[in-house]
Amino acid sequence: MNRIKVAVIGSCASRDNFNHHFVPNYKDFFKCVVSQNQMSMISLMADPIPFHADHVTGDVSNYAKLHFTTELEKSVLYNLLINDPDYVILDFYADIFYGAREINQSLITNKVWQFKKINIYKNFEIGKAISIPKEEQSILKAWTLKREERTFMRVWKNNVDRFVRWMQEQLPNCKIVINQSRFTNAYYDEDKGEICRITDKLNHHYDLDRLNRIWSEMDAYVIEKYGVRSIAFGDKKYLADPNNPWGLFYLHFEHAHYLDFRDKFLKIVVDDLLENQKKRKRMETCSVNLIKNSTFNYGKKYWTYWQDTFMIQQNRTKSNSVSLTRKNLQQDANCQIWSNAVELNADGTAAYTVSFDVRITDVSQVDGEQAIFAIRLYNKPNDIFQKDAVAFHYLTIQQFKIKNNEWTRCSFTFTPTEGRFIKVGAYLFRNGTVAWRNIQLEKGRYATPWKPGYREAQ
CATH number at 185 reads 3.40.50
Domain with 198 in it: 4-275
d(CA 253, CA 238): 6
Domain boundary among 258, 275, 292: 275
d(CA 338, CA 378): 13
Contact 374, 339 (CB under 8 A): no
Residue 451 lies in a domain: no
177 and 49, same domain (yes or no): yes
Domain boundary among 275, 291, 311: 275
Q: Within 10 A of 232 (CB to CB), how many other CB atoms are there?
A: 13
Provide the domain count of the chain.
2
| Residue 184 DSSP label | -
264 and 362, same domain (yes or no): no
438 and 323, same domain (yes or no): yes
At CA 217, angle to CA 213 and CA 223, rounded to 5?
140
d(CA 367, CA 399): 15
190 and 334, same domain (yes or no): no
Contact 214, 241 (CB under 8 A): no
CA distances in angstroms from 399 to 42, 409, 444, 445, listed in the order given: 45, 12, 20, 17
User: Could you tell me which residues are beta bridge partners of residue 396?
Assistant: 371
231 and 347, same domain (yes or no): no
Residue 280's pLDDT is 46
Residue 58 lies in a domain: yes
d(CA 353, CA 430): 26
322 and 428, same domain (yes or no): yes
Q: For the domain that residue 363 is a member of, what is the CATH number?
A: 2.60.120.260
Q: Which of 207, 201, 179 is nearest to 97 (CA)?
A: 207
Residues 142, 250, 176, 454, CA torsion sign: positive
Buried b (16+ CB within 10 A) or exposed e, 339-348: bbbbbbbbee
Alpha carbon 306 to its chain centroid, in Å, reads 23
265 and 344, same domain (yes or no): no
Residue 164 lies in a domain: yes
Contact 399, 410 (CB under 8 A): yes
210 and 358, same domain (yes or no): no
Residue 1's pLDDT is 55
d(CA 384, CA 402): 28
d(CA 440, CA 291): 6
142 and 254, same domain (yes or no): yes
226 and 359, same domain (yes or no): no
138 and 260, same domain (yes or no): yes
Residue 348 lies in a domain: yes
Output the furthest CA–CA distance in the chain (Å, rounded).
82
Q: Is 88 helix (H, G, I), strand (E, B) or coil?
A: strand
Residues recorded for the chain: 458
Domain boundary among 236, 260, 275: 275
Residue 155 lies in a domain: yes
Taking only the tens of pLDDT, the chain with its 458 residues reads 579 999 999 999 999 999 999 999 999 999 999 999 999 999 999 999 998 877 788 888 888 888 999 999 999 999 999 999 999 999 999 999 999 999 999 999 999 889 999 998 999 999 999 988 888 765 556 666 778 888 999 999 999 999 999 999 999 999 999 999 999 999 999 989 999 999 999 999 999 999 999 999 999 999 999 999 999 998 899 999 999 999 999 999 999 999 999 999 999 999 888 776 544 444 445 578 999 999 898 899 999 998 888 999 887 667 899 999 999 999 999 999 999 999 988 888 889 999 999 999 999 999 888 999 999 999 999 999 999 999 999 999 999 999 999 999 999 999 999 999 999 999 999 999 999 999 999 998 889 999 998 777 65
| Residue 139 DSSP label | G
Residue 332 lies in a domain: yes
Q: Is 431 helix (H, G, I), strand (E, B) or coil?
A: coil
Which residues, other chains included, contact 119 with Cβ-Cβ below 8 Å and sequence gap of 6+?
55, 56, 57, 58
Residue 448 lies in a domain: no
Which residues, other chains included, contact 82 with Cβ-Cβ below 8 Å and sequence gap of 6+?
286, 290, 343, 344, 345, 350, 443
User: Reduced to 3 DSSP states, what percent helix, strand and coil does the chain have, rounded to the nearest 5?
Assistant: 30, 25, 45
Q: Is 399 helix (H, G, I), strand (E, B) or coil?
A: helix
Residue 236 lies in a domain: yes
d(CA 92, CA 44): 12
User: Could you tell me which residues are beta bridge partners of residue 44?
Assistant: none
353 and 228, same domain (yes or no): no
d(CA 343, CA 28): 24
At CA 113, angle to CA 109 and CA 114, rounded to 5?
75
Q: Which amino acid is at 227?
A: G
Residues 221, 227, 230, 236, CA torsion sign: positive
Q: Is 121 helix (H, G, I), strand (E, B) or coil?
A: helix
